[in-house]
């Protein structure tokens, strides 16, 4: 799509966003694109043997354009494939809790900008539909039969999201039929369900984990949609990471193919904060806070002995956000290693040389390493590096144990100084490992509030007839985001950004980059940013 440059005129541009209840024609400055590619295979109401990784239909992005380079990446709506759907008055207007709200409902033209730092002549850029209650809804309260499923690994806040979906549906919209699907996606056809009421979920936010259970791996999409159809479910709330959201997208496509009036809403979950577009994922604040305990313990251990080294392994398979933010928050860390920033051990400017220097200066040090850092070193020695778990994630080797052994070997060979190393993060995966301690705890106050906002945004979207979307804050405003935007890549620490520079400034560690490597990284980031803009 060509960029549309905007003049420096102070005249306010006029534009309209897509209103699912309006059938206005396209205009020169307002174009709507939404189509489905030709289907392959059976056209029967029930498709056979459709796996989570496959899709019989592929919905193209739904784009609305306006003046001055305005682009809205809209989300699907039930009225896109089911015509003449009746609408109903939103019951929130009679809800006592909302009686003091100045504006009950979100304006149909409200959108949220993905990029907020611009120049005066910049195009307005990509926007997403703002989340919130609409004046008209496409479901009556007694018509709704909702279900909730949690998939993937554990994360602080899962139970809070479950609770707030149930209580939000019940108290805001008068919905009384909500099912919990046990055991992840396979629970749709292989496990029992549990009725969820405000009374059942009242105290679950105080517990870690998920009361519904979870599992990893792709399952039979056709069987899942068969179960949804047979049970009469018409709202599906799916809580999980990028793999789960990919599965949710396929489920939506199959529901759309069958022409079912079923809204599919995703709530993105990843403790690593590696989901793109949104500001952050729930559980991340709790993870950073809990990581302080491990770092504090390592600091006490290291400064209590001669030349003590405290080594802490934290979560971060592909993204080092937890390690970076925990390092910044702690101020006790002397070196932070993340997957995005390569490092080397031997030679001038290497990690081992820096450790020696730090011990001579301070007499102790703390090293934080994300679990996905330095995996290229281990792949040279371990043949199992290509093994994957049920979700398709590469099984990582224990980088913390490997680094601790390398440090011990180095100092035993040098024989220049005594060294005492404590590794907080055991070789075996037990609850003594901080990466597992963090996953299993209840969410903190900040995440509890955030989970409530996510749950309510998903409810408002589903009741308004939107489907095939996920929710999350974009520049501080909650929005509805198409599934494909959060599954096409992972959010990673940009090591040419100021936040990583702040982290390096806090630890005083070297960047472990040669000037040539740094130039290559900057060029790579610029190419990626230009690709996003266009």
| DSSP class per residue in 359-409 | HHHHSEEEEEEETTTTHHHHHTT-GGGG-B-TTSPBPPP-HHHHHHHHHHH
- For residue 310, what is the enclosing H or E element? strand 308-314
Find out whether 226 is annotated in a ligand binding site.
no
Find out whether 438 is annotated in a ligand binding site.
yes
DSSP string, 42-91: --SSS-SS-BTT--S--BPPEEEE-GGGEEEEE--BGGGTS-S---EE-G
Tell me the two tokens of residue 142.
């007694």
Find out whether 209 is annotated in a ligand binding site.
no
Instruction: Specify the pLDDT at position 487.
Output: 87
For residues 334 and 507, the answer to whether their CB atoms sit within 8 Å is yes
For residues 378 and 321, the answer to whether their CB atoms sit within 8 Å is no
Q: Of 425, 367, 473, 422, which Cα lies nearest the Cα of 113? A: 473
Find out whether 285 is annotated in a ligand binding site.
no
Strand partners, 368: 312, 336
Question: Parallel, antiparallel, or unpaired for β 235-240 and 146-150?
Answer: parallel
Find out whether 419 is annotated in a ligand binding site.
no
Q: Give a three-class secondary structure readout of 408-464.
A: HHHHHHHCCCCCEEEEECCCCCCCCCHHHHHHCCCCCHHHHHHHHHHHHHHHHHHHC
CATH assignment, 63-277+443-488: 3.40.50.450
For the chain, domain boundaries:
63-277+443-488, 284-378+389-441+494-524
Q: Of 120, 133, 113, which Cα lies nearest the Cα of 17? A: 113
Instruction: Specify the pLDDT at position 406.
Output: 93
Give residue for tokens 């209580």.
167
Number of residues in the chain: 534
Q: Reduced to 3 states, what is the DSSP secondary structure of residue 317?
A: coil
Tell me the two tokens of residue 380.
């040279």
Q: What distances in angstroms separate CA 70 from CA 46, 65, 356, 530, one per listed residue? A: 40, 6, 54, 17
Strand partners, 236: 147, 264
pTM to 2 decimal places: 0.83
Domain 63-277+443-488 and domain 284-378+389-441+494-524 have a common topology: yes
Q: What distances in angstroms separate CA 318 from CA 135, 141, 173, 386, 394, one per listed residue? A: 41, 42, 40, 15, 10
Find out whether 244 is annotated in a ligand binding site.
yes
Find out whether 270 is annotated in a ligand binding site.
yes
Tell me the two tokens of residue 354.
């820096």
| Cα distance between residue 109 and residue 198, in whole Å | 34
- For residue 312, what is the enclosing H or E element? strand 308-314
Q: What is the largest CA-CA distance in the chain?
A: 81
Tell me the two tokens of residue 498.
């100021």
Instruction: Specify the pLDDT at position 23.
Output: 40
Find out whether 218 is annotated in a ligand binding site.
no
CA angle in degrees (0–180, nearest 5) for 489-397-308: 110
Instruction: Specify the pLDDT at position 25.
Output: 40
| Cα distance between residue 195 and residue 176, in whole Å | 10
Instruction: Specify the pLDDT at position 517.
Output: 58
For residues 422 and 308, the answer to whether their CB atoms sit within 8 Å is yes
Per-residue pLDDT of the chain (534 residues; tens, 9 = 90+): 443 333 333 333 344 444 444 443 443 334 444 434 333 333 334 444 445 544 445 678 889 888 888 999 999 999 999 999 999 999 998 888 887 787 789 998 999 999 998 888 888 899 999 999 999 999 999 999 999 999 998 999 999 999 999 999 999 999 999 999 999 999 998 778 999 999 999 999 999 999 999 988 767 899 999 999 999 999 999 999 988 999 999 999 999 999 999 999 999 998 899 999 999 999 999 999 999 988 999 999 999 999 999 999 999 888 999 999 999 999 999 999 999 998 988 888 889 999 999 999 999 999 999 999 988 888 665 545 556 555 556 667 889 989 999 999 999 887 778 889 999 863 333 444 555 667 778 999 999 999 999 999 999 999 999 999 999 999 999 999 999 999 888 899 999 889 999 999 999 998 886 555 556 655 665 655 555 555
Q: CATH homologous superfamily of domain 284-378+389-441+494-524?
A: Phosphofructokinase domain (3.40.50.460)
Known catalytic residues?
272
CA angle in degrees (0–180, nearest 5) for 334-337-342: 130
Sign of the four-CA dihedral 42, 47, 49, 55: positive
Find out whether 153 is annotated in a ligand binding site.
yes
Find out whether 241 is annotated in a ligand binding site.
yes
Find out whether 371 is annotated in a ligand binding site.
yes
| Cα distance between residue 520 and residue 496, in whole Å | 11
């Amino acid at each position: 799509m060509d960029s549309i440059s905007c003049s420096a005129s102070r005249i306010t541009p006029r534009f309209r966003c897509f209103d699912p209840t309006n059938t206005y024609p396209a205009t020169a400055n307002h174009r709507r694109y939404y189509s489905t590619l030709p289907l392959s295979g059976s056209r029967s109401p029930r498709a056979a043997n459709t796996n989570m990784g496959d899709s019989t239909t592929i919905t193209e992005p739904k784009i609305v354009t306006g003046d001055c380079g305005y682009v809205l990446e809209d989300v699907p709506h039930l009225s896109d494939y089911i015509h003449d759907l009746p609408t109903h008055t939103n019951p929130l207007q009679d809800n006592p809790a909302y009686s003091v709200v100045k504006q009950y409902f979100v304006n149909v033209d409200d959108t949220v900008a993905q990029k907020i730092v611009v120049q005066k002549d910049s195009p307005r850029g990509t926007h997403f539909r703002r989340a919130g209650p609409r004046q008209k809804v496409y479901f009556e309260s007694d018509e709704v039969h909702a279900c909730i499923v949690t998939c993937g690994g554990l994360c602080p806040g899962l139970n809070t999201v479950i609770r707030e979906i149930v209580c939000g549906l019940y108290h805001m919209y008068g919905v009384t039929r909500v099912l919990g699907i046990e055991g992840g996606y396979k629970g749709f056809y292989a496990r029992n369900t549990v009725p969820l009421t405000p009374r059942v979920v009242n105290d679950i936010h105080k517990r870690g984990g998920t009361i519904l259970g979870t599992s990893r791996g792709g399952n039979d999409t056709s069987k899942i949609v068969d179960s949804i159809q047979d049970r009469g479910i018409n709202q599906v709330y799916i809580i999980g990471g990028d793999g789960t959201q990919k599965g949710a997208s396929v489920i939506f496509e199959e529901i759309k193919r069958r022409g079912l009036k079923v809204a599919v809403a995703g709530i993105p979950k990843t403790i690593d904060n590696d989901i793109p577009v949104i500001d952050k994922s729930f559980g991340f604040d709790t993870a950073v806070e809990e990581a302080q305990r491990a770092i504090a313990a390592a600091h006490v251990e290291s400064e209590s002995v001669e030349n003590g080294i405290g080594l802490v392994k934290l979560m971060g398979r592909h993204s080092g956000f937890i390690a970076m933010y925990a390092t910044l928050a702690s101020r006790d860390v002397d070196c932070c290693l993340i997957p995005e920033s390569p490092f080397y051990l031997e030679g001038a400017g290497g990690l081992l040389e820096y450790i020696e220097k730090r011990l001579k200066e301070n007499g102790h040090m703390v090293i934080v390493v994300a679990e996905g850092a330095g995996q290229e070193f281990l792949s040279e020695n371990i043949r199992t590096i290509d093994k994957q778990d049920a979700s398709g994630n590469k099984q990582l080797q224990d980088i913390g144990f490997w680094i601790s052994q390398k440090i011990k070997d180095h100092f035993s060979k040098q024989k220049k100084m005594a060294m005492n190393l404590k590794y907080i993060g055991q070789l075996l995966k037990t609850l003594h490992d901080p990466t597992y301690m963090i996953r299993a705890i209840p969410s903190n106050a900040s995440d509890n509030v955030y989970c409530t906002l996510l749950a309510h945004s998903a409810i408002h979207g589903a009741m308004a007839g939107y489907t095939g979307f996920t929710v999350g804050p974009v520049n501080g405003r909650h929005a509805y985001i198409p599934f494909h935007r959060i599954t096409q890549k992972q959010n990673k620490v940009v090591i040419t950004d100021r936040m990583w520079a702040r982290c390096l400034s806090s630890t005083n560690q070297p960047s472990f980059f040669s000037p040539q490597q740094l130039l290559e990284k900057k060029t790579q980031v610029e190419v990626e940013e230009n690709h996003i803009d266009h």
